[in-house]
Amino acid sequence: MHIVTGGAGFIGSKLARDLVARGADVIVVDDLTDGHKFVNIADLAIADYLDKDTFLDRLGDASFTAGIEAVFHQGACSATTEWDGRYMMRNNYGYSQLVLHRCLELGVPLIYASSAAVYGASTGFAEAPANERPLNVYGYSKLQFDRYVRRLAGNPDSQVVGLRYFNVYGPREQHKGSMASVAYHLNQQLRADGEVRLFEGNDGYADGEQQRDFVYVDDISAVNLWFLDHPEVSGIFNAGTGRAQTFNDVANAVLDWHGSGKIRYIPFPDHLKGAYQSYTQADLTALREAGCDVVFRPVEDGVREYLDELAV
């Protein structure tokens, strides 16, 4: 069986869906305190659902762990605006430590979600300590676990892979609220008001010209599955397109799909000044050297596929 923590969430539910399509028995682990997430897995024939706390308890049960083939650890608080550091470290760091230790004891592959938020204020995006400068406690929680993995499992006997997700967008992110992707919010704005809203210039960038590495969720799932198929490969790798595109590019892709609308630029929020990544672009050198040959969609293609699916 394959375990997907955070399996009712955005990326986790896509990964669970693709594993089921492969014929795998999938156990989804999540915390459905926010019950709205159930829609992401309601139509998915999973083997079982476990609450996060129940899962941690059952990791000590040999009859349960004997059937685990791999763990995809996607569960985390991903709110970059959450400043309760104690909660964030307990949820993202402590929980991940427990899962890591048990996977190493069992010899079970662990593929986990890290984040490009570890780079924060850096202008370099290779997987090197010199580039790791998080701007928020979310990014720090992810970085600290990566550091822990490097120290504890630098040369593991069983596979341990951390994937630093860049700006992921795509279906089944509606429950994320303010943390949903730019593409999601722009589509919602256009449908409601006939316009999309982007930030004015900041950090030397013109209006809407801030750049991020926007990556489609299907491609992120494909990278996870590539590592599942290559258990001999371990390490921490970037998961992005390797190509920065502007927020204007995303907005224009949304406008093109609808065939109408306009862009309006709004003042850059004071509370984000000094705590905002104006540029990200995954360095894919390590990923490609590992042999991963997943082809990543540009924004123009990914947004079109995304909105096509939302329209069904």
Catalytic residue list: 138, 176
How far from chain centre, in Å, is Cα 268?
25
| Cα–Cα distance for residue pair 127/112, rounded to 1 Å | 15
Listing DSSP states for 208-252 in one string gives: T--EE-EEEHHHHHHHHHHHHT-TT--EEEEES-S--EEHHHHHH
116 contacts 166 by C-beta, under 8 angstroms: yes
Q: Look-up: residue for tokens 């390590």? A: 286
Instruction: With beta carbons less than 8 A apart as the criterion, state whether 125 and 114 touch.
Output: no
DSSP string, 139-205: HHHHHHHHHHHHHH-SS-SS-EEEEEE-EEE-SS-GGGGGGS-HHHHHHHHHHHHSEEEEE--BTTB
At 109 the three-state DSSP class reads: coil
Task: Give the bridge partners for 214, in sequence order.
Answer: 167
Report the candidate in 69, 77, 68 with the shortest Cα–Cα distance to residue 9.
77
Spatial contact of 206 and 261, defined as CB atoms under 8 Å apart: no
